[in-house]
Amino acid sequence: MSGARNTLNRPTSRMGAADRTSAVASSFVVADAGHCIGCKACELACFAVHSQANGIGASVGTVSVPVVPKVYVVRAGDTYVPVQCRHCENAPCAHACPVQAIRQENGVVMIDEELCIGCTSCVLACPFGAIEVSTVYREGRAMTQPGLTDRAAHKPLPRTAAGKCDLCADTNGGQPACVEACPNDVLRLAIVESDLLPERRREVFFPRL
């Protein structure tokens, strides 16, 4: 099958799922922009693994909700590049969130959908455009926001929440879904320990330089 064996991703003592829980590590998915072909397989994979609550199986036929991923492939001229949360060490989104829905767990910046009020402060604060506020779906249906109605249509409005890359926190080990799905080895999970020397950091971020 796919030649998607990500050579950069071979787990080492420093990289790999097991290490992601170590408190000193901060990790995020880096992209090698020049190699992205814009196939959006990463987006689809991201959506697929985050949609269990909507009864979504392996086949696209089981999908009944809009595909909203947590990684976005953008095009700039002739270049495609996937953009997602950098899990900033001093996360500006967390500073901006008025209800403390954003927290850091083991180096992963997480948004609690239940707490989120959809105010988009984090969207504005994120320097990368990695956060999207969208309708929350459960069991294939749009959730509604109690107390919020469309006056003209007398219909309750959907409940929305911010979403962004959570490094596939729920997938119990293994590589993040986008990294696994990319057919062109564009994506890679970089794990950086905060006491790492600057040169080593550079190696972790830009191994091809």
Partner 1 sequence: MSITTNNASSAPCRETTDYTNPIIHIDPSMCTGCRRCAGVCPVDAIEGQPGEPQTVNADRCVICGQCVQICSVYASDWADSSPWVADSRRQERLRERDMPADIGEPLFAAYYSCSLKKVTDMMAKPGQFRIVQCAPAIRVSIAEEFGMPFGTLTPGKMAAALRRLGFDRVYDTNFGADVTIMEEGTELIRRVTEGGPLPMFTSCCPAWVRFAEIEYPDLLDHLSSCKSPMQMLGSLVKTYGAQLDEVEPASIYSVAIMPCTCKQFECDRPEMESDGYRDVDEVLTTRELAYWIKESGIDFMDLPDEEFDSPLGRYSGAGSIFGVTGGVMEAAIRTGYELLTNEKLPKLQLDFVRGEEGVRVAEVQVGELQLKVAVVAGLQHAYGLLDRVQAGECDYHFIEVMGCPAGCISGGGQPKLMLEKHRIEAYRARKSSIYGHDAGLQVRKSHENPHIIKLYDEFLGEPLGHVSHHLLHTTFQKRGPGKQSRSCNVLSKEGTNNSIQ
Contact (CB, 8 A) for 95 and 125: yes
Binding flag, residue 45, partner 1 (CB under 8 A): yes
Q: Classify residue 140 by its DSSP letter.
A: T
Q: Which is nearer to partner 1, 68 or 117 (CB)?
A: 68
Binding flag, residue 61, partner 1 (CB under 8 A): yes
In the region spanning residues 67 to 96, those forming contacts with partner 1, defined by CB under 8 A, are 67-68, 72, 75, 78, 80
Name which position in 8, 17, 33, 44 contacts partner 1 (CB under 8 A).
44
Q: Which stretch binds partner 1 (CB under 8 A): 37-45, 107-115, 163-171, 197-205?
A: 37-45
Binding flag, residue 15, ligand SF4 (CB under 6 A): no
Residue 187 to residues 28, 42, 76, 129, Cα–Cα distance (Å)? 10, 9, 18, 18
Q: Which stretch binds ligand SF4 (CB under 6 A): 39-47, 112-120, 153-161, 197-205?
A: 39-47
Q: Which long-range contacts (CB under 8 A, 24 or more apart) does 109-112 make?
A: 109/85, 109/164, 110/166, 110/169, 111/161, 111/162, 111/163, 111/164, 111/166
